[in-house]
Structures are given as C-alpha cells and as structure tokens.
Amino acid sequence: MINLKYIFLTLAILALHSCKNNDDAYRKAIIGTWDVYASNMNEKPNGFMKDGYFIFSESNKVTSNILEGSDLPTFSLENNRLIIDMEQKFDMQITRLDQDTMFLEGKLSFYDMQYFLAKRK
C-alpha cells in the first residue's frame, strides 16, 4: 500500500514538472512578432483581425494593434494558456505552437474566438 502512494506521488510531481517545462518552452517560442493571418468568431471566418499583430517581449510585455488601452499589458503562460493582463479578459488556449505558427482558441466577451498567427521572420 505504501509503495502505491509513492508511485502516485512521483507521477504527480512529474506531471507538475512537465507542465512547468512546457510553459518555459512556450515562453521562449512566443517571444517575437506574430501576425494574425486568419480568425474565426463562433466557428465562422471573419476579417476583423486581418492586419492584427502581437509583439511579445522578453520583459513579458505585449504590444498589439488589436488590444485596447494605451499601457503595455503584461502576458503570462499557464498550462498551455496565453493570458494577457488587461481590462477585458484575454485568456486563450494555445492549441498549436511551432517555430512559426501559433493557434489560439477561447472566449472573448460573448464570442468563441480562434486566432491563427504566423511569426515574422
């Protein structure tokens, strides 16, 4: 019985450690300028974000032409989620993050949103 507890404890620690490592890898990969090349609202394509971009800096600040406000908000990554600290909640699931491609999904206001981004070279 005791051995079973140690096994579960070890698995739990490994799971937490792998999530942290994934967030660190995502943080390194996300730094840079990302252009929105497509977006969906409620599972339908829309052109609202046609010229949208995000610039993620090493200092955890984000610049964008689609975020409201004059201050540079900060961003964080938690459990494969991109969270931008601003008045209107921006908390999107990162469903894909490669060297040059990022997909975001989540709810903004009343809308189910999907963003498809390409990293500038």
Tens of pLDDT, residue by residue over 69-90, are 768 899 999 999 999 998 887 8
Tally of structural domains, the chain: 1
Would you state the pLDDT for residue 17?
44
Percent of the chain with pLDDT over 90: 58
pLDDT at 20 exceeding the cut of 70: no
Would you state the pLDDT for residue 70?
64
Task: State pTM to two decimals.
Answer: 0.78
Would you state the pLDDT for residue 21?
56
pLDDT at 5 exceeding the cut of 80: no
Q: Output the domain CATH number for residue 22.
A: 2.40.128.280
**Owning domain of residue 59:** 2-119
The label of the residue with tokens 């990302």 reads 34
pLDDT at 48 exceeding the cut of 70: yes
Is the sign of the CA dihedral 65, 111, 106, 109 positive or negative?
positive
Residue ranges of E strands in the chain: 32-41, 44-46, 53-56, 62-64, 75-78, 81-84, 90-97, 101-108, 111-119
